[in-house]
Chains A and B, each alone.
Chain A
Amino acid sequence: MTADGPDAPSAPDLDGAQVVPLHAGDIAPAPARPTRSRRRAEPRRATRRPGPAPVTPDVAAVAPAVPDAPPERARAAARTPEATTAAPPSLPHSGELPPGWEATLADALGFLRRRLTGDYAVDEFGFDADLTDNVVLPLLRPLYRTWFRVEATGLHHVPAEGGALVAANHSGTLPLDALMTSVALHDDHPAHRHLRMLGGDLLFRLPVVGQLSRKHGSTLACTADAERLLTAGELVGVWPEGYKGIGKPFADRYKLQRFGRGGFVTAALRTGKPIIPCSIVGAEEIYPKIADVPVLARLLNLPYFPVTPMFPLLGPLGAVPLPTKWHIEFGEPVSTAELGPDAADDPMLVFNLADQVRETIQLTLYRLLGGRRNAFEG
């Protein structure tokens, strides 16, 4: 199942990295691994590993390996133990801090300094790459690796650079599927792409959530923003089912809802960017919505008020998602470049393309569902 992603085999490694205790005096050092680009992009994760432990990595030896990396990243990469394979491994003995802690501390302090002096860049949509890479993604990572054990496949269908539109099924009462897709595309894609998600207006009305969504790369789902992002060469994520999909009852799980007015197809056609169908299995069962309280929903100005076996019965405990096993598959891209921007004015074509994407996602969902034993073991 994991064989088709270019870097799929790395997933088990990182699973391992999560469970290795920090003060692991009795654990034998792992054999030195070949340098991998994903390690370089995750300096703080990597530095916590008690594996091969060079004390001071040779900066000059690594610098040519990352010629295009921005200085910040290159500097961080130079500090990671994994970035140098030639350095001699040394055994960490008990009572000592894990190797590379100095680099981790410097990184953390540097981050704090940037935040406190406002020395970071935000794009026009409010996307804050510094915060996303250093706070949001590290917070989501345990959920992605350990809790949902997400298996992402077909990542080679997502281009390493340039604009593309990822259209996925939506489910789970709360949009964790969108967050997990963003982690998948950053951590498991070789180009570590940031997914720019298109969200409903409710998201941006809410305090805290609204500003965090913008900082994490979301913007309002409208053609103006979608086209602007695609033209700028960003990877855009869209969930065309909208509230109908995410808020559907548990009985309707994995039944794709209507795809709105096909605005996402129009945006892709106008900009000539491919549409990548994305099928997410596992998100449907995290908060099984067994009932809805429309009166409360209207009162709170929400699209639905979910009742799950744990919410509102167990109060805040109901916010803990069930630990289902997830699978995210990126399908073959639907190319739109050869149709030309005028095709966006042909409603028949737009609907046909939307149906084609919808069909692909639904069939992939059935195939993935057929291959799993149950929701928790996958």
Chain B
Amino acid sequence: MAPSVVLVTGVSRFLGGHLAARLAADPSIERVLGVDTVPPGPDLGSRMGRAEFIRADLRNPSIVEVIARADVDTVVHAALSPDPSGRWGSAAREMSVLGTMRLLAACQTVPTVRRVVLESTTAVYGASPLDPALFDETMTSNDLPTAGYARDAAEIEGCLRGFARRRADVSTTVLRFASLVGPRIDTVVTRYFSLPVVPTVLGYDARLQLLHEEDALAVLELAVAHDTPDVVNVAADGVLLLSQAIRRAGRVPLPVPPPAVGLVGRALATARVAAFSPEQLRLLDFGRVVDTTRLRTAFGFTPRWTTVQAFDDFVRGRAFHALAGRERVEEAERLVDRGVHAAVRVVAGLGRWA
């Protein structure tokens, strides 16, 4: 059954806001309600069209009234992506975990709710050398993160499983997104690659799997409109090595010895450049790749951008001033080639003359 009243949380963020805008542009949907603690920015707000913004804190009991009064049938909870400049501290933790619990409790009491879609992250698989190279939806890590964003995301997924048990008539979908990149989105990853000199962990080179922002929105839109499998990994095809990505962005890597990595991470967080959580630092060591078979088959979506294409699109969109861009490298190659040839000619000429 097609959704008629959709409630989207986290509309001040990229995913929630743009999803609300896309849903508002769909005439088959009667009403689109956007909830967040802060209103979306002017640019995002103007895109959202007829979507209604409701300023509310999910932890406030009034959310039940919002859902019940509007006869909401579909809830998209997209408020979990961390603020790229803020640290994932106790406030963010409380906001996300307790907010989700309250929201789901409210959904449970409103009989019109038929579908709940949760934005989650592949961070729930952790990043460790003790795990298989690829995770499918049934696997869990042998070395699960014990705290932080990944732990909270796993706890939130647990809340949704409990909700699905109690309200068997509601279909639920957890979308585990890989790191998002794109020309418009602002995440820790995009901020990281925007640094002029990119700190990496000495001796480690992670495998990165990314997802283009447009693909993420398309998947969310599909999940609203159709009944989809309960847990789906959402990630682009292919893999980039961290060192390779830095080169493609024309950045200069700065390998930092492992003991000093935490220090650099904290410095960047204090400067509010990019807040690296400990599990994101682990991601820089070992990386993480997920199996997307379920996305293609059961869910029925093939990402339009591969990891490499998504990353290149992000780089193009930011118009970096590349320190070591492709043109410079190619120019250097021609120079060296010509230089060596000239040197050889000179040496050969001297040899004949002698």
Contact = CB atoms under 8 A, between A and B. Distances in A.
A90 to B, nearest CB: 15
Interface residues of B, number: 39
Contact of A117 (B258, B289, B329, B337): B329
Nearest to A201: B130
A115 interface: yes
A222 B330 CA distance: 42
A124 B333 contact: no
Nearest to B208: A122
A125 B206 CA distance: 11
A205 B244 contact: no
A204 interface: yes
A219 B129 contact: no
B133 A117 contact: no
Contacts of B337: 105-106, 109
Interface string B25-40: 0000000000000000
A211 B203 contact: yes
A109 B330 CA distance: 10
Contacts of B205: 126, 211, 214-215
A97 interface: yes
B134 A224 contact: yes
A207 interface: yes
Interface string B224-243: 00000000000000111101
Interface stretch (B71-79, B117-125, B245-253): B245-253
Range, interface on chain A: 35 or more
Interface in A79-97: 95-97
B129 A122 contact: no
Nearest to A226: B132
Interface in A159-210: 201, 204-205, 207-208, 210
A112 B330 CA distance: 10
A122 B204 contact: no
A122 B203 contact: no
Contacts of B258: 207
B340 interface: yes
A117 B205 CA distance: 16
A106 B133 CA distance: 35
Nearest to B290: A124
A95 B351 contact: yes
Interface centre among A113, A122, A128, A204 (most CB of B within 10 A): A122
Nearest to B340: A105
B18 interface: no
B351 A118 contact: no
A224 B329 contact: no
Interface string B310-354: 000000000000001010011001001100110010001001000
Contact of A220 (B133, B204, B248, B351): B133
Interface in A50-88: none
Nearest to A222: B132
B247 A118 contact: yes
A7 interface: no
B70 interface: no
Contacts of B139: 224
Interface in B281-302: 286-287, 289
B130 A207 contact: no
A147 interface: no
A126 B239 contact: yes
Contacts of B207: 122, 124-126, 214
Contacts of A207: 201-204, 258
Contacts of A119: 248, 326
Contacts of B247: 115-118
Most chain A CB within a 10 A radius of its CB, from B129, B258, B326, B348: B129
A122 B134 contact: no
Nearest to A95: B351
Interface in A99-124: 101-102, 105-106, 109-110, 112-113, 115-124
A204 B129 contact: yes
A122 B333 contact: no
B186 interface: no
Interface in B189-210: 201-205, 207
Given A204-B286, A210-B204, A118 B333 contact: no
A220 B142 CA distance: 13
B131 interface: yes
Contacts of B132: 219-220, 222, 224-225, 228
A101 B205 CA distance: 33
Interface of B: 129-134, 139, 201-205, 207, 238-241, 243-248, 258, 286-287, 289, 324, 326, 329-330, 333, 336-337, 340-341, 344, 348, 351
30 contacts: A95-B348, A96-B348, A96-B351, A105-B340, A109-B336, A115-B247, A116-B324, A116-B329, A117-B330, A118-B243, A119-B326, A122-B244, A124-B134, A124-B207, A125-B133, A125-B134, A126-B133, A201-B129, A201-B130, A205-B129, A207-B202, A207-B204, A211-B203, A211-B205, A215-B205, A219-B133, A220-B131, A220-B132, A222-B132, A225-B132
Q: Which 3 A-B pairs have the closest CB atoms?
A: A207-B203, A118-B247, A204-B129
Given A123-B239, A204-B286, A207-B204, 14 more contacts: A95-B348, A95-B351, A116-B247, A118-B245, A118-B248, A119-B248, A120-B244, A124-B133, A126-B133, A126-B207, A128-B241, A201-B130, A205-B130, A219-B132
